[in-house]
Homo-oligomer: A and B are copies of this chain.
Amino acid sequence: VVVTIRDVAREAGVGLGTASRALAHEPGVAATTRARVLAAAERLGYRRSPIAHAFSRRRTNTLEIIVPRFTRFYMEILRGVESALADTDYSVVIRTIERREARERVLAACCTRGRSDGVLFISILPPDDLVERLLGMGLPAVLIDGEHPQLTSIRADDEQAEMAVVRHCVELGHHQIALLDRAEDPFGPAVPSGRQRGFERAMAEAGLEISDGYVQVIPFGLEGGARGFERLAALPEPPTAVLTGADMQAMGVIEAARRHGWKVPEDLSVVGCHDIELAEHLGLTTVRVPVRDLGQLGAGLLLAAIGQSAAPPQRISLPAELVVRATCGPPTR
């Protein structure tokens, strides 16, 4: 029922090897022979078996991509990945880690030899033993929106960007500035983000102190933002400006603020992060992160690493810039 390369070879009246070479467009086959093989394949409706191919070549032509969950932010990264892969014959299998319990299992599963030719971790920090195993079996991996000493990582320069944001707020006259950050890796260890470092540095430079409860890590998304706002609003001295780790968080803050009768930006200045499509339409002051480039570059680096045996890990950081729109203004308190 299935047409194999053997059938094609017989039909074309050539040997197995010749058929294989002809079909693979390899050099070293006479033009007429090749034409004969191709014609035979066409006639028989031959299609080579991808698994057999992968099995034999010991290469799957597949990239494994691990993201925390399907959100707008990761979609944009995936688009970048895809554009990098557009002219290759690589496929992507995408895994998400929706539940914390699944983290171990998913991560372990993806690092089996033969599953894929390379792994792309997005906003996921692989534990050290995993990295060890990856390195041990020579499976290339790159980190997007994360960092690991032994893996080439690529991320936005959150630290610089956040410093620019703080400076902007200070120039507007704010003294009470809070940061509602998102977790670097929602399912991993709580490491301080670049945003947090930038925030602290810039606040120190401005001679401002960070009040208790002004730095919090909240979940991605509208809901997280809303909860963050409520915690901030309940403080004895609520901030006059709030920086966030994602545009959707910022929007959640704004929504919740409005529900509580606060006006934005009069009563509260809000800054997002990433500059998703919606941000422009809603006039959100935010940080423009080249999200798509993150994905494209990351995939490109991974592809490159698959070629060589052992490239030294690189650390790439893409500039992010402040985009001033309408959700920030001078404080009125």
Contact = CB atoms under 8 A, between A and B. Distances in A.
Given A70-B75, A278-B222, A49 B92 contact: no
Interface centre among A71, A91, A222, by most chain B C-beta atoms within 10 angstroms, is A91
Interface string A30-54: 0000000000000000010111101
A317 interface: no
Interface stretch (A17-25, A111-119, A227-235): A111-119
Among A54, A70, A98, A255, max chain B CB count under 10 A is at A70
A102 B87 CA distance: 11
Contacts of A157: none
Interface in A201-243: 221-222
Nearest to A89: B109
Given A75-B71, A222-B277, A281-B255, A51 B114 contact: yes
A251 interface: yes
Interface string A83-114: 10010000111111010001000000000111
Contacts of A82: 70, 96, 98
Given A79-B70, A281-B251, A51 B47 contact: no
A253 to B, nearest CB: 11
A78 interface: yes
A76 B52 CA distance: 34
Contact of A62 (B93, B102, B113): B93
A2 interface: yes
A47 B113 contact: yes
A69 B86 CA distance: 13
Contacts of A75: 70-72, 75
A281 B249 CA distance: 12
Contacts of A281: 222, 251-252, 255
Interface string A247-282: 000011001000000000000000000000110010
Contacts of A54: 51, 55
A176 interface: no
B50 A52 contact: no
Given A47-B112, A49-B114, A92 B93 contact: yes
A50 B115 contact: yes
13 contacts: A47-B112, A49-B113, A50-B112, A51-B60, A62-B93, A70-B76, A71-B75, A72-B72, A79-B98, A83-B98, A91-B95, A92-B93, A252-B281
Interface of A: 2, 47, 49-52, 54-55, 60, 62, 69-72, 75-76, 78-79, 82-83, 86, 91-96, 98, 102, 112-115, 221-222, 251-252, 255, 277-278, 281
7 smallest beta-carbon distances between A and B, as pairs: A70-B75, A55-B55, A49-B114, A93-B93, A51-B55, A51-B114, A51-B54
Given A92-B95, A252-B281, 16 more contacts: A47-B112, A50-B112, A51-B51, A51-B54, A51-B114, A54-B55, A70-B75, A70-B76, A70-B78, A70-B79, A75-B75, A82-B98, A92-B93, A92-B94, A93-B93, A221-B277
